[in-house]
Amino acid sequence: MARAIYPGSFDPVTKGHLDIIKRSSKIMEQVTVAVLENPRKVATYNIEERVKMLMIVTDPYPNVKVDYYKGLLIDYAKNNNINIVIKGLRAMSDFEFEFQMALVNQKLSPSIETLFMMTNNKYSFLSSSIVKEIASLGGDIRSLVPPEVHEIIIGKYQT
């Protein structure tokens, strides 16, 4: 079995992300969920908050660990002996960007493979931005985020 990395912003983690984490943990020896610290993107939750939420929701899965990284994904992967990149696909709209990223990573590091996992159709509409949009308007996000982190997520929107 292989060691995989599941990278993303996770700003914040949703049930869609957790579904991909659970399913990949069943087929991989180890899965590192890696939060990208991207200085060009303004995040709602800081790195510590995003890592903490992921640690809480992945606690039941012994072969899943959480980390964060700056810079190139393939450098992180190589330094940590990881040979698979997992990406979730929701719709055709995800495909074009992810396809380009996978080809660039293949060019930079041919020994690392990207695997795409189809979304669970329950979550095909779900993104971190949708969660934040609904929460900011006072809507109920309980069906969209793992219950253990619901309070932390809505904490940003309560006055």
Residues near ligand ADP (CB under 6 A):
8-10, 14, 16-17, 20, 87-88, 90, 94, 119, 123, 126-129
Q: Kindly tell me which of 8 and 146 has the beta carbon lying closer to ligand ADP.
A: 8
Q: What sign has the CA pseudo-torsion 130, 133, 139, 142?
A: positive
Which residue among 90, 109, 127, 150 is the active-site one? 90
17 is catalytic: yes
Q: Kindly tell me which of 81 and 121 has the beta carbon lying closer to ligand ADP.
A: 121
Tokens 């700003």 belong to residue: 11
Q: Kindly tell me which of 30 and 119 has the beta carbon lying closer to ligand ADP.
A: 119
Smallest distance from ligand ADP to CB 106, Å: 16
CA angle centred on 78, ends 72 and 83, rounded to 5°:
105
Collapsing DSSP to helix, strand or coil, 25 comes out as helix
Eight-state DSSP code of residue 145: S
Which residue among 41, 107, 142, 143 is the active-site one? 41
Collapsing DSSP to helix, strand or coil, 33 comes out as strand
Residues taking part in catalysis: 17, 41, 90, 128
